[in-house]
Structure formats: C-alpha cells, structure tokens
Amino acid sequence: MDRASSMLFGGVHFDRKRFASDIERFKEKEAEQDIQIETESQPIESAGIENGRKKKRKANTFEAVESFSVFKASEPVHIVEVDSSEQKKEVEKQIEQAALLRKKHGIHISGHNVPAPLQSFEELSSRYGCKPFLLRNLSELGFKEPTPIQRQAIPILLSGRECFACAPTGSGKTLAFLCPILMKIKPGSGDGIKAVVICPTRELAAQTTRECKKLTKGRKFYVKLMTKELARTGDFKKMPCTVLVSTPLRLDFAVRKRKLDLTRVEYLVLDESDKLFELGFVEQIDSVVKACSNPSIIRSLFSATLPDSVEELARSIMHDAVRVIVGRKNSASELIKQKLIFAGSEEGKLLALRQCFAQSLNPPVLVFVQSKERAKELYKELAFDDIKADVIHADLSQEQRENAVDNFRAGKTWVLIATDVISRGMDFKGVNCVINYDFPESAAAYIHRIGRSGRAGRHGEAITLYTEEDKPFLRNIANVMVASGCEGPSWILSLPKLRRKKHRPQRDSISTAPDDNEE
C-alpha cells in the first residue's frame, strides 16, 4: 500500500507544508485573540491574512486556514452567537435531536460540526432549498424515506464538506451522492463538467448513469457515460456535459489526451472507493484527482467495505472530511441468510452445486467463480443441464457483457455465472440467491458478492461452498456472518485465528468428479 500511498499524496491539493507559514501565522493570531468563531459576514481572510494578494492565492490560503477545525462551519453558515441561555438551550436541543436520529438509524460519525441527519426527503427543500423536480422524481421512483446513509451523507455534502461513507450493500449509496450533485449543479449546458463519478467497472458506470438520468427527468441536465466512442472522439468543449460517469482508465486516457477539461469539477465521487484504491487503479485515480484542480472541489468516497488502510489514505488526501459509517463497519446486510456448505474437494463442488439446484432453484441466481477461465468452464458444464444459464466476465465483448446483464435483469437468464466483474455495486432487483462456487479471496469480496441479493429491504440468500483447502479461511467469513446477525457456526468461531494470508486458490479448471456413475 506504500506505493499507493505515495501515489495519492501526489494528488493532494491542499498541502499543509506549502501553507505552513500561513498556518503558523494564523495560530499566533488565534492565540492573541482567543478563539473566535468566524461567520460569513466576517470573512476569514480578515483574521490573519493581509489584503492585496492575488485572488487565487487568497482562495488557497482560505482553504488551508479553513481546514482548522474551529473555523469550519457545517450548516449553510448561520453561526451560533450564543448570547442568551434560551438560544443555547435551543442549540443543545438540536444537537441532541440529531444524535437521537443517528442512534435510531445506526449512523456513526466522526468529524466536527457534522450537520444533522435528514428526517425526511422534504427536509431537502426546507433546509436546503431543493427544487421540486428532484423531490418529484424521488417520489415517482418510489423513494419515500431516505435510507440511513442518505439521511447523513446528503446534508454533509450539501454543506460543502468532503466525506467518506461506509454503508451496507444495497442501502442506497448511489442516491446519497447523486442527490447533492443534482441539487447544487444548475441544469443546462453550463460551462463544462461540474461533477465526475468514477466506478470500477463499465457495468456499474452504466447503471449509475441510468440512475442519474432517472433523477433528472424533466430537467435538462447533461449526464454522460464515458463510452469507448466518447473517450476516443469526444470533444467535450462542444458537447454539453455537466455530470460525467466513467471508469478510471478511460477518464485518465481522455485527460492525458487533453480531450477533457476537469478544472471546473465541483464534485468528485469515488464509488467503491476501496476497489479504486487498489494498485493498478490508484495511479489512474491519482491522475484524475490531480486534473480536478478546482480548489473548492468536494470529494467523496463511498463503499460498503472500508479497510483501515484505505481510511488512513483517505484521511491523508481529504480536506477535513467527515466519516460516516452505517451499521457495523464491513458487515453484510442483515436480510441475507448466509450458509456454508462443505463440498469436500474441488471435485465435489460441481456435485454440490447441482444438488443445490435440485433442492431448490429459485431464480434469479448468481454464481461467482474466481477466474474467467473457470467461468467459461462452469458455463459449459451447466449448459448441458436443463437450466437457463449465462456467463459474464471481462473476456466477453462489451455487447456480450451488456446482453448478459440485460437478460439477467429481464429474467431470461435464471443462473448467471460471473467473475468479480459484477460483484460490486450492481443492482439486480430481486436476486434470490448468491452462490460462491469459489471461495472469495477476502471478507470484502464476500460482502460485495453476497450483497447482490438482499437489496433495498428485500430478503436474500447466500451459499458459500468450501473445500478442505478453504478451511483455514473460513473464520473470516464466519466473522462477517456474525457481524451481520447470522448464526456463525460455533465450531468455526472456535477455530484458532488464521494467519493473515490472502486466499490464493490454485484452481486451474472446473473438474467433474472422475466417476462413471454420475447421475
């Protein structure tokens, strides 16, 4: 992760070292004056920075100074001059109310002056002047109550704070970052790209674009998906585009080819951020973060899994970010019934899978394997069975991938065999069962895979096959099961803690048991 860390440090815009002198001077001033809360009417510049500087420099300094906690206001700055005990009481009451609401919804925050969570979507208009079109679209799309992550993350982003957010799979993270963008950005072609959303796969980028378009119905927002065509030919100066959704490499490519101007981007969202911080992605992310040079940009990170390493990284690059965690960190949805099935050996898995299907095949079902090769092989195996099966992995053409997703969405495919391409973020309505044919390589992979079911309040089931060689890694999974309210098999939980080694299965090909008397 060290390399990753230095990569991302390269993208820091608000460099404490660079502004060290300002900060020092400011501290002195602060000590002289006693701490005094700044308001909009009394601009921060007047507190310690001489006039007559260049405008840009001033803006940067403002940012650096602003990063000091005392001066960070959260709400659309009505500052709290507490003269009377009446007002003091009122403020205390509000803070207490916010805390209660957070507790009720399992929202945990860290950071100072965090705005109160939303009571309802209507509060978006009373508190933040939300335009009617968005509320109308939300209600028409069937979003009645905000989910916990939406309640907390939306006000944070609307009050101009950066944030990193961790909430379970299927709990509405996409809407949580799209709403503030659509509220803050004006419709029309405007002048350039104002918001960028980065996703780890094309399928997810396409899905996020669709969601965003649905929310903008009735308004002329230019929401664009960065397709192959667009990356190659795209002249973004002529083509109106205010919200751009992309995978990292295409975006990076377009930036390097100077086809794209990101200097006016006001919102940058890294969806599935822990994935995007993996080596191979992080370099591209770094390049894009650098290209978004607007000093008042608001960056946010969203994922269902947030390893400590990523959290540390995020803290180092982000500007006074608020951290929001819904429920328990790195846990799966409680609506998924999780099961473990012992298949003995690699050879036993195919039989175990067929038995699963024979007992109850309740489509749609997703089956995850470890590699593209294994996906192809398992597909061949099942093609002889009487099941409508299909397969998706990155060796397929874009069109084939799209078809696989569409057919699965439409219910034409009962069983979709997949690599981890679609393990994150994809929202297939009503996946009844996820089967891990191959043991997931990490707890995070497990959480994302099984999170394809049990979404938006629905129930789901997850079955994980394991073999003798997977046993040393079972404990990880059992821990997730317990953390998300499933009964962890006690014999596993009493196993000794495993060494921190990654699960690297040596599986080459799907093998049928070498027996003649099958079926």
**Where along the sequence are the contacts to DNA (CB under 7 A)?**
200-203, 228, 231-232, 247-250, 253, 278, 280-281, 370-373, 393-395, 419-421, 441, 504
Shortest CB 379 distance to DNA, Å: 13
Cα–Cα dist 45/61, whole Å: 8
Closer to DNA by CB, 326 or 382: give it.
382
Which phi and psi (to 5°) does residue 464 adopt? -120, 120
Shortest CB 422 distance to DNA, Å: 8
Closer to DNA by CB, 227 or 432: give it.
227
Cα–Cα dist 226/128, whole Å: 30
Closer to DNA by CB, 45 or 441: give it.
441
Closer to DNA by CB, 118 or 416: give it.
416
Closer to DNA by CB, 118 or 196: give it.
196
CB 259 within 8 A of CB 235: yes
CA distances from 336 to 150, 172, 433, 492 (A): 21, 16, 9, 19
Closer to DNA by CB, 147 or 287: give it.
287
Runs of H (alpha helix) within 410-500 = 443-450, 474-483, 490-493
Shortest CB 278 distance to DNA, Å: 6
Closer to DNA by CB, 394 or 498: give it.
394
Shortest CB 501 distance to DNA, Å: 13
Residue 484 is given by DSSP the state T
Shortest CB 163 distance to DNA, Å: 25
Token readout for 30 is 């602060």
Angle of CA points 272, 275, 281, to nearest 5°: 120
Shortest CB 11 distance to DNA, Å: 17
Shortest CB 377 distance to DNA, Å: 11
Shortest CB 270 distance to DNA, Å: 14
CB 197 within 8 A of CB 218: no
Q: Which of 333, 322, 338, 306 minimizes the C-alpha distance to 168?
A: 333
Closer to DNA by CB, 131 or 259: give it.
259
CA distances from 3 to 10, 18, 279, 316 (A): 11, 22, 8, 14
Cα–Cα dist 8/270, whole Å: 13
Q: Which of 208, 192, 283 minimizes the C-alpha distance to 246?
A: 208
